[in-house]
Amino acid sequence: MSAARQGGRGRDPERVAYLNARLLDPASGLGTEGDLLTDGEMIADFGPGLFKDGIPEGTQTVDCAGLCLAPGLVDMHVHLRDPGLTEKEDFPSGTRSAALGGVTTVVDMPNTRPPVTTRAVLQDKRTRVRGRAAVDYGLFAAPRSEGAVSQLRDATAFKVYMAESTGNLQIDAETLGAVLHASAELGRLVVAHAEDEHRFRKGQPATLAGHSESRPKESEASAIRSLGALRGEARVHIAHVTCAEALAAVPEGVTTEVTPHHLLLDTGRPLQAFGKVNPPLRSPEDREALWDAFAAGRIDALATDHAPHTREEKEERFDEAPSGLPGIATSFPLLLRQVRAERLSLERLVDAMASRPAEILGIPKGRIEVGADADLVVVDARRVVKITARRVRYKCGWTPFEGMEGVFPSTVYLHGERIVEDGEPIAEGAGRPVTRIEA
Ligand code: DOR
Ligand code: ZN
């Protein structure tokens, strides 16, 4: 079965009808069979039997019988390493991999070089990435003083580091309090890397279990409690929670995110430093508890924390290898496989990977909705394949999910333009900066 459009390649600004698809959006009648009409860059209409009176003249058709049609996914936590660290990844390569996995919007973290801590750097980064992204994108900034907050107000959202990790952008509690206060005044979202350095244990771990003990679960719960005390009126989102203990510390009104690696990998895997990440992978039991919380809807969003490092760096001695692992192309494929295995509902998948992150960021994405951008993913849920480094095309050349099963999209559209066809990336540079919906 093919979702190939009848007609030319690339941009087709006219009307396109997607016929007999399973629409994967809770708002559009989740999992029901229906049709969808796009007009140029936007979704014009959708629903069952949309064309029972015939298809309007001049409309191209895409046969989606037996296929699923999902809103393009939103990955609110990626490190594309551009500028400054482009031996690991860059905007074209990282966004191409995103598209392969059905992700049509990414938000890039500020620990690039130089770090995005000033207005000048933010503007420079924006200029450098323009026209080079295969999917739509936003940019995080990292204010390191109260005054920096208004300087950086054009960023999509703010990131604060409460502990050391790649980039050394951590701030102390007093500065954090001031940044949260100023962000609240501006109504900006603050995403927190929540680990408390005072709870770290000394030593030079040589294994994944040792790494987990050196940055223990209590350090996350403790940092989250501090955030709760400091946050005031700020809108706070906690990145990459790894365990039930951290979740239990999350205050009412604060949103949370989980990564595919904390849901699907643990310290029992023979990954050595290729599985080294902050916060660390936990035990199989912790992972199971995290999965149950995610499946039950107690975590808002799924984001990858795609943080590639080169093979050479990861082959260093364990305690010297950098933390972080890639995942931008494999999150939807891996999670859709879990839906197939009946370990997760489709509704939860679409909510956590599209609607909720868009809502948290305040961007008009992640939904099948009349007037929304026609960012769409066509996938045959029966086509299970093995994940390989070759398939995901990261610049770093490896994936920690090698050999695991996934379901990749066949076609991906960005504002109505095909950017992936037959599972292959076919368009570059079509990505645009996202705009926030001002509250
Ligand atoms: O493991 C990590 N890697 N955690 C972070 O917070 C940063 C990331 C990176 O940029 O490599
Ligand atoms: Zn990160």
Ligand 1 pocket, mutate which of 80, 81, 165 (most atoms under 8 A from CB): 165
Q: Flag whether pLDDT at 273 surpasses 80.
A: yes
| Spacing, Cα 307 to ligand 2 middle (Å) | 7
Mean pLDDT over each residue of the chain, to the nearest integer: 94
φ and ψ of 356, to 5 deg: -65, -50
* Bridge partners of residue 78, in order along the sequence: 108, 306
Confidence of residue 438 (pLDDT cuts 50, 70, 90): confident
Following DSSP, what letter does each residue of 283-347 receive, concatenated? Answer: -HHHHHHHHHHHHTT-S-EE---B----HHHHTS-TTTSPP-B--TTTHHHHHHHHHHTTSS-HH
Q: Which ligand is nearest to the CA of 322?
A: 1
Neighbours of ion ligand 2 (CB under 5 A): 305
Q: Flag whether pLDDT at 8 surpasses 50.
A: no
Does the beta carbon of 112 lie inside 6 Å of ligand 1? no
Question: For 354-408, what is each residue's pLDDT tens digit?
Answer: 999 999 999 999 999 999 999 999 999 999 999 999 999 999 999 999 999 999 9
Q: Which ligand is nearest to the CA of 257?
A: 2
Nearest residue (by CA) to ligand 1, atom 7, is 166
| Spacing, Cα 303 to ligand 2 middle (Å) | 9
Atom of ligand 1 nearest to the CA of 308: 11
Does the beta carbon of 326 lie inside 6 Å of ligand 1? no
Q: Which ligand is nearest to the CA of 259?
A: 2
Q: Flag whether pLDDT at 27 surpasses 70.
A: no
Query: What are 154's two structure tokens?
Result: 């054009």
Ligand 1 pocket, mutate which of 277, 282, 304, 306 (most atoms under 8 A from CB): 277
Q: Flag whether pLDDT at 1 surpasses 80.
A: no
| Spacing, Cα 169 to ligand 1 middle (Å) | 11
Q: Flag whether pLDDT at 85 surpasses 60.
A: yes
Overall fold of domain 72-361: TIM Barrel (3.20.20)
% the chain with pLDDT above 70: 96
Q: Which ligand is nearest to the CA of 85?
A: 1
| Spacing, Cα 323 to ligand 1 middle (Å) | 6
Nearest in space to 129 (alpha carbons), one of 81, 180, 61: 81
User: Which helix (H) or strand (E) covers residue 203, if one does?
Assistant: none
Q: Exposed, middle or buried, 76 (CB in 10 Å: 0-12/13-18/19+)?
A: buried
Confidence of residue 289 (pLDDT cuts 50, 70, 90): very high
Atom of ligand 1 nearest to the CA of 323: 1
Question: For 305-328, what is each residue's pLDDT tens digit?
Answer: 999 999 999 999 999 999 999 999
| Residue the block writes with tokens 């508890």 | 289
Q: Flag whether pLDDT at 12 surpasses 70.
A: no
Question: For 203-215, what is each residue's pLDDT tens digit?
Answer: 999 999 999 999 9
Looking at residue 66, its amino acid is G
| Separation of alpha carbons 341 and 98, rounded Å | 24
Does the beta carbon of 399 lie inside 6 Å of ligand 1? no
| Separation of alpha carbons 429 and 439, rounded Å | 30
CB atoms near residue 119 (< 10 Å): 16
Nearest in space to 307 (alpha carbons), one of 346, 262, 267: 262
| Spacing, Cα 8 to ligand 2 middle (Å) | 39
Confidence of residue 166 (pLDDT cuts 50, 70, 90): confident
Confidence of residue 32 (pLDDT cuts 50, 70, 90): confident
Atom of ligand 1 nearest to the CA of 193: 6
| Spacing, Cα 216 to ligand 2 middle (Å) | 18
Question: For 222-253, what is each residue's pLDDT tens digit?
Answer: 999 999 999 999 999 999 999 999 999 999 99
| Spacing, Cα 158 to ligand 2 middle (Å) | 12
Which residues does the annotation mark as catalytic? 305
Calculate the CA dihedral of residues 7, 8, 12, 18 and round it to 10 degrees: 40
Distances in Å between the Cα of 146 and the Cα atoms of 66, 139, 184 are: 53, 19, 11
In this prediction the pTM is 0.96
| Spacing, Cα 266 to ligand 2 middle (Å) | 18
Does the beta carbon of 239 lie inside 6 Å of ligand 1? no
Nearest residue (by CA) to ligand 1, atom 8, is 324
Does the beta carbon of 278 lie inside 6 Å of ligand 1? yes
Does the beta carbon of 306 lie inside 6 Å of ligand 1? no
Nearest residue (by CA) to ligand 1, atom 6, is 165
For the chain, give every domain's residue range: 72-361
Confidence of residue 28 (pLDDT cuts 50, 70, 90): low
Q: Flag whether pLDDT at 4 surpasses 90.
A: no
Q: Which ligand is nearest to the CA of 140?
A: 2
Does the beta carbon of 304 lie inside 6 Å of ligand 1? no
Does the beta carbon of 259 lie inside 6 Å of ligand 1? no
